[in-house]
Amino acid sequence: MNEWEWQILEDKTTLDSVDILGAVVRRGERVRLHPRAGGDVLDLALAGKIAMIESIEQDYEGKLHVCVVVDDDPGRDIGMMRQPGHRFFFVPSELEPVGPDEQKTSQPALKKILIACIGNIFQGDDGFGVEVAARLAQRTFPAGVRVTDFGIRGFDLAYALMEGYESTILIDAYPGDATPGTLSVVEPDLESITSGEASPGLEPHAMNPVSVLRMAAGMGAKLQRILLVGCVPATLGPEEGQMGLSEPVAAAVHEAVGLVEGLVSRILTGGWPGTV
């Protein structure tokens, strides 16, 4: 079954685990692919490959479908963001659990840092993170550092967090009592976030980072260090919307780029935590 066929199915139920050859296999674990004879040509090309289970879904007829992302797929990141073309669906009988050694050795190298810029360009200074993303895209970072403009795509960010980054830097407008344009770095209490309790000082607007972190944790993401680089907005615009940053927030973009570069350098050299 291909991506498009699966999308038309209704009443999908997401499961945490599936029984494969007598073993309970969960999301995030790895399996070897054994496509059935006479199946899709692309699926057959994946025979013998090892892939990670991205989701386990049950259709309206009660049939189980296991979505996987192949380890050596160059577009693996796209698949983890649930985009078509790099996610593949198999039935449990086409999969084989791999042993503990293969679970470990087949796993791609851990990515170091995700720089996730978020915000809504139609809400005034809420577009701060998007503007910072555009500036960061012009910079060169060491291998293992990924910069992505997620905009208001909370689900995409949640799936990206399942990639196992050692550190994630969120960049967003951050309401507060300070002067507009003021930058700050906040390291939230992940235990309180994932337990469902409020996290003081980290309740931004629109695509709420707290909600996204909770969603990612609920999907099985192993959250590690999370930092928020925030900028106090002057205005989020009227109800009808407003494009463009205010003068103090626009002036803070360049400083934010330097701050993020400094954080990346310190994280990679073991200099965080420390004084910002």
Name the residue ranges covered by the structural domains of the chain. 3-105, 113-268
DSSP string, 41-100: HHHHTTTT-EEEEEEEEE-TTS-EEEEEEETT-TTHHHHHTT-TTS-EEE-GGGEEEPPH
For 3-105, the fitting CATH number among 2.30.30, 1.10.3470, 3.30.70, 3.30.420 is 2.30.30
Virtual torsion, Cα 229, 255, 269, 186, nearest 10 deg: -20
- Token pair of 118 as six digits: 């978020």
Distance CA 169, CA 117 (A): 8
The tokens of 96 are what?
A: 């084989």
CA 57, CA 139: separation in Å to the nearest integer?
A: 40
What is the chain's pLDDT, residue by residue, as a tens digit (276 residues)? 444 444 444 456 778 888 988 889 888 888 999 988 766 666 677 888 998 888 888 887 788 889 888 887 766 665 555 655 678 889 999 999 988 766 665 445 555 899 999 988 998 999 999 999 999 988 888 878 889 898 888 888 888 888 778 899 999 988 878 899 999 998 887 777 766 554 444 443 446 777 788 888 877 777 888 899 999 999 887 777 788 899 999 999 999 999 999 999 888 877 766 544
User: pTM for this one?
Assistant: 0.60
- CATH code of 113-268, in short, is 3.40.50.1450
Yes or no: say if 125 and 235 are a contact pair by the CB < 8 Å rule. yes
Give yes or no for a cis peptide into 180 (omega within 30° of 0): no
